Amino acid sequence: MKIKHKVALTVIPVLILIIIMINVTFGIFFHNHVLEHENIQVHSAAENISSYVNERSNKYVGSVNDWGHWDDTNQFILGRNPEYVALNMTESTYDYLDLSFMIILDRSETVLYQQYYVFETESFSEFPEDFSADIGHAITFSAHADDTSGIIRIGTQFYFIASSDVTDSLIAEEATGTLIFGRLIDDQLMADMENISDCSIEAISVISDSGRLEQSIEPIIIGQEYLKESSDSISIQLAIPNLYERSSSVVVSMTMPRTLYTSGMREVVDFSILNTLGSILVSLILFMLLGRHVAEPLNSLMHDVRSIDVTDFESIRIPDSGIDEFSYLRKAINSLLKRIETSQGELIESREKLQATLISVGDGVITVGIDGRIQFLNPVAQMLTGWSLEEAAGKPLEIIFNIINEYTRDPVENPVTEVYKTGEIVELANHTLLITKNGDEVPVEDTAAPIRDSGGVLIGCVLVFRDFSERKEKQRYIEYLSYHDHLTGLYNRRYFEEELQRIDIEGNLPLSFVYADVNGLKMINDAYGHDRGDELIQNVAETLKAECRPQDVITRVGGDEFVVMMPHTTTETTEAILKRIDSRLEEVHIVDVPVSISFGWETKVDANQSARDVLRRAESAMYRKKEVNSDGLRDEILRSIISTLRAQDAGSSEGPERT
């Protein structure tokens, strides 16, 4: 079959499919576009009615507040302004304020004044019978707050209601009563809402399920559906929340014509017809040009390409004369063949260099295929894992590179697996041990990186790792120094501060704190030098370690100060341990100077106690004890020092005179 026939059989169905897809895609897009704008139109109508309702409510709230804080209204309720009604409650007042009724109540909710106004006749009238029967609803609504507003049903009609407490103009005294304004939602107001929303309002009703409003304070659309089979209009249910009586919230039912949708769909049909006819005409022209300018030159090029002798690679060339596009393509093919020759030589050289680099590098290197099986181990990796390349090749990585957590002994997820999940470089967590072939454990640190082809597709992973043993030992030593006192080997103040947070839990109660201070350290330093002072501190530390229990935490927090934290230890047990320490220290002397410690202790027995407060009390107890015994201890130590120095002077006949 000739190329032009193949092209025809390929292009024609594709063109038909493209035409269909364009028409369908445009139809769907335009349909969604029209629906989106129609939805905007629906929400715009709802927002317009919402704005109208808010504007009306704010108007009546402003009016009722002005009248409610008017001294004349306040005086009328107090019975001091008998002309108030005659002077102010006229038809023109109601017409000006746009009110259907007004009610004035005193503090006991007794009606002092009520009047109903009919706009059609511009005159006062009796309250409608159903209104009078339900007037208590308006009074109850106004009692919810100092100032209320909203739409409620009274009888069978719906009204804008606004109320305010009546006070003097300075609001210096308590409210004397309540003023209620109301406006009937009549045909005029309904027409106003229809005009601003471009919808027909069918009815206003009380919401049947106030839970649908959730916590909304603004009007929301709770229902929207298409009417009739032709869907030529939309029914909208707009809920207007009542902030004070959620169950009295109202629903405005209205319908909106779908003029935008119907006109838009007609335009879609017209476009589809024109697009189909135009596409067919363009396709016929393109097909004719394609056969003349593409099919014939392509046949010639294919014939020349078939003539290439792949067995004689260096002599591969095709004719490339001419200046048309296919001539440039021929030249490009010849250039590509030349580059292939060069690239193959460079690839072989690069592969040999890479192999030499991987063999000589000082870190262990493992390459893994996309299937998770080992492809290569360099000599360092073979030494660290105990596996030779011949033994490891083709085996799953987990067998050769078996790693566990140093502390939990749980298997550690292989970093190569994480690389394949994320496509990113992954490093091993600290405290990782490699289990070698013969079962030895080697601390390692490791980096796994993805291997990608020229197109960026993940084709494998390279794992680089090294023996971490020496560095780990250094880290452990540094960590030891950071938490231990260099003189005594006890924990230092930094460790004490951190351990205080960890040990202060309810499970360790009773928790005892011992604050210890070495007596006479300064005098021994002054008399014998700091070496003897260090010996004193070391003797005290050894005594504390010998007499305290394994679970007790002994820390040196200062030059001559120690803190011992004793979990699960009562005050009685603490005192017994301290007695043993005192007894042991009686046998210890520094150049015949007795060694002693001043102790203060306190026990935390309640989880609500502050550990630091308990510790401070232990410290205070130590200082009190030290202060009580300070003179005697100082004299005893001083006598021992003087006695020892005299003995030394007497035994050294050639020594210098000591003063």
Per the model's pLDDT, the better-predicted residue between 132 and 568 turns out to be 568
pLDDT at 32: 84
CB contact set of 607 (below 8 Å; sequence gap of 6+): 506, 509
CB 304 within 8 A of CB 330: yes
pLDDT tens digits along 57-112? 999 999 999 999 999 999 999 999 999 999 999 999 999 999 999 999 999 989 99
pLDDT at 551: 95
Domain boundaries, the chain: 1-178+261-299, 313-352, 361-473, 484-651
Q: How far apart are the first and last CA of the chain?
A: 126
Angle at 259 between CA 258 and CA 263, to 5 degrees: 120
pLDDT at 258: 81
Tell me how far apart the alpha carbons of residues 516 and 519 are, in angstroms, rounded to a whole number. 9
Residue length of the chain: 659
Tell me how far apart the alpha carbons of residues 431 and 475 are, in angstroms, rounded to a whole number. 11
Render 232-296 in DSSP notation, one character per residue: -EEEEEEEE--SS-GGG-EEEEEEEE-HHHHHHHHHHHHHHHHHHHHHHHHHHHHHHHHIIIIIH
Is residue 659 pLDDT above 50, yes or no? no
pLDDT at 313: 52
Tell me how far apart the alpha carbons of residues 647 and 592 are, in angstroms, rounded to a whole number. 11
Q: Six-digit token pair at 344?
A: 């193959």
pLDDT tens digits along 594-606? 888 999 999 999 9
**pLDDT grade for 242, boundaries at 50, 70 and 90:** confident
Domains 1-178+261-299 and 361-473 share a fold: yes
Q: How far is CA 407 from CA 83, 471, 480, in A?
A: 94, 18, 17
Per-residue b or e along 118-156, where b marks 16 or more CB atoms closer than 10 Å to that residue's CB: beeeeeeeebbeebeebbebbeebbeeeeebbbbbbbbe
Is residue 582 pLDDT above 90, yes or no? yes
Per the model's pLDDT, the better-predicted residue between 336 and 411 turns out to be 411
pLDDT at 226: 76
Residue 491 per-residue DSSP state: B
Q: Six-digit token pair at 63?
A: 């009016």
Which of the residue ranges 353-357, 459-463, 501-505 would you say has the lowest mean pLDDT? 353-357
Strand order in the sheet with 220-227: 200-206, 250-257, 233-240, 220-227
Assigned architecture for domain 484-651: 2-Layer Sandwich (3.30)
pLDDT at 360: 60
Is residue 645 pLDDT above 70, yes or no? no
Query: Which listed CATH number (1.20.1280.50, 3.30.450.20, 3.40.367.20, 1.20.120.420) goes with 1-178+261-299?
Result: 3.30.450.20
**pLDDT grade for 655, boundaries at 50, 70 and 90:** very low
pLDDT at 649: 63
3-state secondary structure 316-370: CCCCCCCCCHHHHHHHHHHHHHHHHHHHHHHHHHHHHHHHHHHHHCCCEEEEEEC
Tell me how far apart the alpha carbons of residues 541 and 536 are, in angstroms, rounded to a whole number. 9
Tell me how far apart the alpha carbons of residues 493 and 495 are, in angstroms, rounded to a whole number. 5
Average pLDDT over every residue of 570-587? 94
pLDDT at 271: 82
Per the model's pLDDT, the better-predicted residue between 424 and 321 turns out to be 424
Is residue 409 pLDDT above 50, yes or no? yes
Residue 560 per-residue DSSP state: S
The candidate with the shortest Cα–Cα distance to 588, out of 646, 635, 652, 519, is 519
Q: Whole-model pTM above 0.75?
A: no
> Helix or strand or coil: residue 150?
strand
Q: Six-digit token pair at 105?
A: 């109540």
**pLDDT grade for 441, boundaries at 50, 70 and 90:** confident
pLDDT tens digits along 188-221? 999 999 999 889 898 898 888 877 777 778 888 8
CB 314 within 8 A of CB 342: no
Q: How many CB atoms lie within 10 A of CB 6?
A: 11
CB contact set of 7 (below 8 Å; sequence gap of 6+): 287, 290, 291, 294, 295
**pLDDT grade for 631, boundaries at 50, 70 and 90:** low
Is residue 336 pLDDT above 50, yes or no? yes
The candidate with the shortest Cα–Cα distance to 517, out of 564, 462, 449, is 564
pLDDT at 34: 78
pLDDT tens digits along 244-278? 888 888 999 888 888 777 777 777 788 888 888 88
pLDDT more than 90, % of the chain: 38
pLDDT at 550: 94
Give yes or no for a cis peptide into 510 (omega within 30° of 0): yes
CATH node for 361-473: 3.30.450.20
Q: Six-digit token pair at 93?
A: 């007042």
pLDDT at 658: 40
pLDDT at 344: 61
pLDDT at 654: 46
Tell me how far apart the alpha carbons of residues 120 and 184 are, in angstroms, rounded to a whole number. 12
Average pLDDT, the chain: 84
pLDDT more than 70, % of the chain: 84
pLDDT at 653: 45
Tell me how far apart the alpha carbons of residues 53 and 48 are, in angstroms, rounded to a whole number. 9
Tell me how far apart the alpha carbons of residues 488 and 486 are, in angstroms, rounded to a whole number. 6
pLDDT tens digits along 299-317? 676 767 666 655 555 556 7
Tell me how far apart the alpha carbons of residues 51 and 60 are, in angstroms, rounded to a whole number. 14
Tell me how far apart the alpha carbons of residues 63 and 95 are, in angstroms, rounded to a whole number. 13
Is residue 633 pLDDT above 70, yes or no? no
pLDDT at 342: 66
Task: Of 130-139, 316-325, 628-637, give the range with the top mean pLDDT.
Answer: 130-139
Is residue 656 pLDDT above 50, yes or no? no
| Beta bridge partners of residue 458, listed in sequence order | 452
Average pLDDT over every residue of 459-478? 80
